[in-house]
Amino acid sequence: MDEFSQQDEQALILRAQSDPQAFRPLYHYYHPRIFAYVAYRVGTAEDAEDITAEVFMRAVSGLTGFTYRGEGAFSAWLFQIAHNEVRRHYGRRQKDSAALSLDDLPEIESDSPPVDQQVQRKEQFAALRDLIERLSPRQQEIVTLKFFGELRNREIAAVLSLDERTVAAHLSRALNELQRLYSLESALSSAPHRKEHGPYEPES
């Protein structure tokens, strides 16, 4: 879905506060982003579905109290709710480091690829998620908000209560570390004893 202009988004939010139907385009735009972010954070499709639903239910109940304060304010508000819900999820349940089965993993966004490619992409998702989990908690948050929440640094800063420059610095270090881990995994996966879940190689 195309990105909203600032004016469009503000108008939709104001309308949605009195006309429920105006919430639909906002939902269509933000649901995939919230789901992708939550799924990368929690790993399983079922948990991601439940948490995403809770995030939107809470957002809808608080929508009339939301005050638009400029570009990015709504996405930062929404992702802050999501961030808190993920945190609550981990508070309720100790992080499970056991490997997830393919059935537990969420589907990967694509334009109807063959079934075998879907499986491959799920494995790639799991492998990349393993790499991200080796980062510091702060870096994990920033990378997932950036790539799956599709937030700008300014919005990430608002969600995590950080300075925008601090976010940029964390992101830069996180990508460098990920790159290092990724190269290491690539080297290992090209060795004779290849690991089952190798790093993802994008299709050419």
Partner 1 sequence: MSQNHNHEQHEMDWLDAHIRRRQRTGEHLVDALIATRPRGDRLRARQLEERLIAQLEQQQTTSERQTPMQDTRFFPGENRLLPLRQPMRLPLTLVATAALAFLGIALLSPFLRPPSDDGSASGLMQQNQAASPTFVPTASATPLPTLVPPESPMGASLMAYAQTEVPIYAAASADSQVLGVLNAGDLVEAFGTDVTGQWLAVLWQGQIVGWVSVPSVELLNRQTFANQAPDPLMMTATATPIPVTARPAFVWPSEAMPSATTSQAVTVYALPDDTSEALGTLEADAPVVYIGRDQTGEWAVIRWQDDIVGWVLAEALIFAEISQPPVIASLVPTVIPPTAPPPVGTATPIP
Q: Tokens 């104001």, residue? A: 14
Residue span binding partner 1 (CB under 8 A) among the ranges 12-20, 96-104, 190-198: 12-20
**64 touches partner 1 (CB under 8 A):** yes
**128 touches partner 1 (CB under 8 A):** yes
Determine which residue in the list 74, 79, 86, 153 makes contact with partner 1, applying CB under 8 A. 153
Residue 82 CB contacts under 8 Å (≥ 6 apart), including other chains: 34, 37, 38, 51, 52, 55, 149
**29 touches partner 1 (CB under 8 A):** no
Window 163-182: residues binding partner 1 (CB under 8 A): 168, 175, 178-179, 182
Determine which residue in the list 62, 99, 101, 194 makes contact with partner 1, applying CB under 8 A. 62
Please, what sign has the CA dihedral across residues 73, 40, 106, 128? positive
- Cβ burial of 34 (10 Å; 0-12, 13-18, 19+) is buried
CB 153 within 8 A of CB 164: yes
Closer to partner 1 by Cβ: residue 9 or 106: 106
Distances (CA, A) of 97 to 45, 100, 130, 133, 144: 16, 9, 10, 10, 18
Determine the residue type at 59.
A
Report the half-sphere exposure of 125 (CA within 13 A, side-chain side): 29
d(CA 54, CA 41): 15
**31 touches partner 1 (CB under 8 A):** yes
**152 touches partner 1 (CB under 8 A):** yes
Determine which residue in the list 9, 47, 148, 170 makes contact with partner 1, applying CB under 8 A. 148
Q: Which residues are near partner 1 by CB under 8 A?
A: 3, 14, 16-18, 20-21, 23-24, 27-28, 31-32, 35-36, 39-40, 45, 48-49, 52-53, 56-67, 77, 80-81, 84, 87, 91, 105-109, 121, 124-125, 128, 143, 146-148, 150, 152-153, 160-162, 168, 175, 178-179, 182, 199-203
